[in-house]
Amino acid sequence: MMYKCDMCGCCCRHIGNSEIYKDLDNGHGVCKYLVGNLCSIYNNRPLLCRIDETYNQIFYKLMDIEMYYNLNKIECEKLKKMEE
């Protein structure tokens, strides 16, 4: 099972209010590695940008995978609505 990301880049355009992503912020709340809607360091991106690996290493003890994916999807949809 893998998280189905539509690669819209929305999550990468809204990192400014997140302490855990502060080192990735280009100063405008956007990831400094975002080019268009794609990650320019995709194969070497941080663990917290890797949904499946983050679950396997951190969240697997806290919730099942379906709940984790659903929470990610909910947050994704919230970010998309901010851009409408």
Mean pLDDT of the chain: 95
User: Maximum distance among all alpha carbons in the chain?
Assistant: 35
CA distance 37 to 56: 25
Residue type, 41: I
Q: Is 62 helix (H, G, I), strand (E, B) or coil?
A: coil
Residue 39 has pLDDT above 80, yes or no: yes
Q: Which range has highest mean pLDDT (4-8, 14-18, 56-60)?
A: 56-60
User: What residue segments make up the domains of the chain, in order of their start?
Assistant: 11-82
pTM (two decimals): 0.86
